Structure 1
Amino acid sequence: MKVSKKGIQAIKKHEALRLCPYLCPSEIPTIGYGNTFYEDGRKVALNDDCISEERANRLFLYVLYGFEQYVNQKVTKTLLQGQFDALVSFCYNVGKGAFASSTLLKKVNVNPFDENIKYQFSRWNKSNGKVLKGLVKRRKEEAEMYYI
């Protein structure tokens, strides 16, 4: 599966576009639409040059493709488009390792229509142990996207 235009818009909205390197709330150097590495695998550094919006969009699509592939690999059940979009958005934000070990993924692989999945999204609302309003909002919107 591939993320829909609606899913892409949701991810971009939550990540926001930043053309110069910055520290995300988890204190990881980031650029573009929440990207922590470049196409060549090099990690973003705070002293890197700023990038153009065009480059940020290319980088986003490159990174997004990797997350689509990963979710396709890890999910063993057939999903609806909104479910896939929500899971890719979640994985894009928390990372592949966290996604792979999450109870959320385990629940999806047992029954993608389990009502407890909404709660599983909501659990991922912290950065460095602190609840962040932006993550609360993102998880709520991902859960809503999942159940559409």
Structure 2
Amino acid sequence: MEFIINIIKAIRNLRSEYKLPPAQKVKAVIYAGVQIELLQSQAELIKNLRTGIGELEIKPAGEKLKQAAFATVDKIEIYIPLSGLINLDKEKAWMEKRAGELDQLIKNLAAKLKNKEFAKRAPKEIVEAETEKLKNYRAEYKKLKEQMMHLK
């Protein structure tokens, strides 16, 4: 059941990230791999637990969808086609801007952490916090680049 809950959370997160109104019904495509039977048996549950899905396609595999929100849960690919739902050009521009900001933050923070003086003088908690911040920036950057690839 936790697996299905994670699928539902991923769909809700995608809707939130792309600011899709809760009342707006969307299509979702799930490439379920070996979990196809489980997901097909739970399709109504997935649709009905406030995911806002009007149409749900569950397939074993398929081509990566373009112009779609994308998430993965345990090797299961989830797509929500965005064409006609949001301004894709505006979203791409925002993502490119944010990717540039993150790239700069990553470079600056990595340089700061490589500085021997900083590492020697800064309290251990600060160094650990900065290291964690760098890890988070890198994860956000990676996710953003992946999303950008699916919006093309």
TM-score of the aligned structures, taking structure 2 as reference length? 0.25
* Bigger CA radius of gyration: 2
TM-score of the aligned structures, taking structure 1 as reference length? 0.25
Higher relative CO (Cα under 8 Å, sequence separation at least 6) belongs to 2
Q: Which has the higher strand share?
A: 2
